[in-house]
Structure 1
């Protein structure tokens, strides 16, 4: 066998298969790409020969020829935050049955990091991008994408031909604050996240509910991490400004607040009620029992993936913006306060 034998280190090519089978390379290409008409006899001969030689399809060469890689790029903000895993699960629910693979890139909130994440996925020739990250206002995303089919998850940067799927952050925070007010709380603090569209919406919903109750707002700086939640609560504890309830920008912040409350021997929810946002898996764990806003992260990822596949198939289609309704999930971290 002149082409390749077992143990041969070089790759078997279509030319090798053609030579061994005694047919043209063009016919081998038709069979392996499953296009055109080839008699059943010739098809079986080529496939049998390819298997005997250990031929493996060159996916890179095929993608370069077709200008498709059957891959979707997903840029996420925080690999350690469960909500981004939920986004990814939803994406995979859609793209895997459609024959696409997922390319993942992580970044931080600064302009340089986000740009690098997007550029890396474009450089890998992803057929389309899903951006589950915060887009800095100073970043020229439209120029960076250069027409690459794209859907954003969680925020809407309002860019031509870029679809968006996000939750109603204002409504979610409004629901959470109204719940705390209904439990008798009057001193409610919002532990904020980074300066993003999501934080703006959640801060607005909190402020709206407090205004309806004729109560002042108190906003404490946070950074969307557990460490930030711990730090914010500890500073209020030490300064004597601890409220009776806190609404947190996300579950990570709330987990940090819960941890700090435990160390400070505060009983949750009687001494301090805590509400998160995202309803991540850990929120329901025994010993956590965190009330949280479910923004339907997995469904959000699935809807975004569906829009992206449609955008890839028809780049000129009308832009779609989808907003999913949030749901308040009540658990023990907030539901038993009896204030005056």
Structure 2
């Protein structure tokens, strides 16, 4: 009888311990532990983050950070941090959260378009991934990388084609750059490469001309016609006389820093620069801005015609009037100059 009581007591104690353990397991692993009202929240864990840094991001999102700490310690997450962008869904348990931030790194959509310089591109990209703008710019300008892949600093921006791409948030500067090289090489299909050969331009020259075309017009429908004008000028040895290249040359000078040139004047035509296409024949040494893919394809598929001139259309802003003769062009140009003056645009 006495032994039975002892065994019963042991059994009861065992049940109590089991109940406490089950309660602990439920609280630590299974019970919902989110404190936010939205359906989901995201945490961004840097590549060299400590558990304390991760904990600092999680604490405002959780009801009970202590229970999370206990389970994180038991599952050895505290010494095995994973970098990336992770989603926490409303109602998740500690176990679900740990599984998510340990193994479910989510990609982001990274996008950029028409950045004027590598510096501006680095700044734009650094706002979307972990790599900072300095490391990105250093990777983009790395002399060994440029030489090995046939680029110069003047043409390096042309490697970055404006679009949306899928990346992990914790992508390094070098991995971003290397991925962009792959995208660039993928863009230059055999068909595009053959078209460039057929019109007598290298890939760098196509993109340099495309950057001028794009700065002249954002209208994809007339970009092939503008490209045709410049190809006609190149063919007969006429200077390109592209106003966007004058602006680019001017912006390299201290006196034009932090200014916006709205009207190209004769003084700009006197700037000494390899990008001054009024003084220098042929294409400039590199692109003047990042062109859209539409402008690149406009050069490769330029419209064949006899136009040598074009001027902005004062009655259809954003579009242009084209001319075969200088006399007709002067009429078109004077009309637009009068429009600028009427708007008080003098420089």
Which has a greater percent of helix? Answer: 2
Q: Same fold (TM over 0.5)?
A: no
Q: How high is the TM-score relative to the length of structure 1?
A: 0.29
Q: How high is the TM-score relative to the length of structure 2?
A: 0.28
Q: Select the structure with the greater relative contact order (CA < 8 A; seq sep ≥ 6).
A: 1
Which has a greater percent of strand? Answer: 1
